[in-house]
Amino acid sequence: MKNTPNIDATTVATVWHSMQTICKEMRHIVKRTAQNYLIGQLQDLSVGIWGADGATIAVPAGLPVQFLGTTFAVQDLVRDFAGNINAGDVFLTNDPYHGGHNCHLPDWGYIRPIFYKGELLFFTLCRGHQMDTGGSFPGGYFPNGYDIHAEGLIIPPIKVVDRGRERKDVVNLILNNVRFPDGVRIDLHAMIGSTTMCEKRINALLDTYGRDVVIACVKEMLERTENAVRAEIEKIPDGVYTGASATDDDGTVLDEPVWARARVIVQGDEMTIDLSESDKQRRGFVNSVYAATYGNAIAAAILYFDPALADYHNQGTMKPIKVIAPPGLVVNCEYPATVGASPVNIGTQVMEAVLEALSKAVPHRSVAAWAKHRGDYVFAVDPRTGERYVRTSFDYDGSGGAVWGFDGYQGLSSMTALGAANRGNVEETEVRIPWRMLKYEFVPDLTGEGRWRGGPGLRWEAINEGSAGQMATGSSDGDVVEGFGAIGGRPSPNCRTWLRRNGEDIRVKPHRLVELKEGDILIKHSSGGGGVGDPAERDPEMVRRDVHNGLVSFEAARNIYKVVVDPITYKIDEVATKKLRERSSA
pLDDT for residue 339: 97
* Residue 25: Cβ within 10 Å count: 15
Least confident of 5-9, 183-187, 495-499: 5-9
* Residue 231: Cβ within 10 Å count: 14
Mean pLDDT, residues 7-22: 96
Is pLDDT at 560 greater than 60 in this prediction? yes
Q: What gap in Å lies between CA 246 and CA 258, rounded to an integer?
A: 5
pLDDT for residue 201: 98
Mean pLDDT, residues 519-542: 97
Q: How far from each other are the two terminal CA atoms of the chain, in whole angstroms?
A: 72
Mean pLDDT, the chain, rounded, equals 95
Tell me: the pLDDT tens digits for 350-372?
999 999 999 999 999 999 999 99
Tell me: the pLDDT tens digits for 222-243?
999 999 999 999 999 999 999 9
Name the nearest CA neighbour of 105 among 174, 167, 58, 37: 174
Mean pLDDT, residues 444-466: 97
* Residue 252: Cβ within 10 Å count: 17
pLDDT for residue 4: 74
Q: What gap in Å lies between CA 165 and CA 167, rounded to an integer?
A: 6
> Could you write out the DSSP letters of every residue in 188-247?
HHHHHHHHHHHHHHHHHHHHHH-HHHHHHHHHHHHHHHHHHHHHHHHHSPSEEEEEEEEE
pLDDT tier at 3, thresholds 50, 70, 90: low
pLDDT tier at 57, thresholds 50, 70, 90: very high
pLDDT for residue 61: 87
Q: For the stretch 198-207, what's the b/e string if a residue is b when 16 or more beta carbons lie within 10 angstroms of its beta carbon?
A: bbebbbebbe
Is pLDDT at 526 greater than 70 in this prediction? yes
Least confident of 23-27, 312-316, 416-420: 416-420
Cα pseudo-dihedral 501, 507, 513, 517, rounded to 10: 0
Side chain identity, residue 236: I
Q: Which helix (H) or strand (E) holds 516?
A: strand 513-516
Three-state secondary-structure class, residue 533: coil
Tell me: the pLDDT tens digits for 253-299?
999 999 999 999 999 999 999 999 999 999 999 999 999 999 999 99
Strands (E) in 226-331, as ranges, are 239-247, 258-267, 270-274, 321-324
pLDDT tier at 2, thresholds 50, 70, 90: low
pLDDT for residue 140: 84
| Separation in Å, CA 417 to CA 31, 347, 372, 529 | 17, 10, 12, 14
Q: What gap in Å lies between CA 374 and CA 411, rounded to an integer?
A: 12
Q: Which helix (H) or strand (E) holds 513?
A: strand 513-516
Q: What gap in Å lies between CA 254 and CA 193, rounded to an integer?
A: 43
Tell me: the pLDDT tens digits for 146-172?
999 999 999 999 999 999 999 999 999
pLDDT for residue 1: 44
**CB-side exposure of 486: number of CA atoms within 13 Å?**
34
Is pLDDT at 305 greater than 60 in this prediction? yes
Is pLDDT at 561 greater than 90 in this prediction? yes
pLDDT for residue 393: 86
Cis before 336? omega within 30: yes
pLDDT for residue 425: 86
* Residue 241: Cβ within 10 Å count: 19
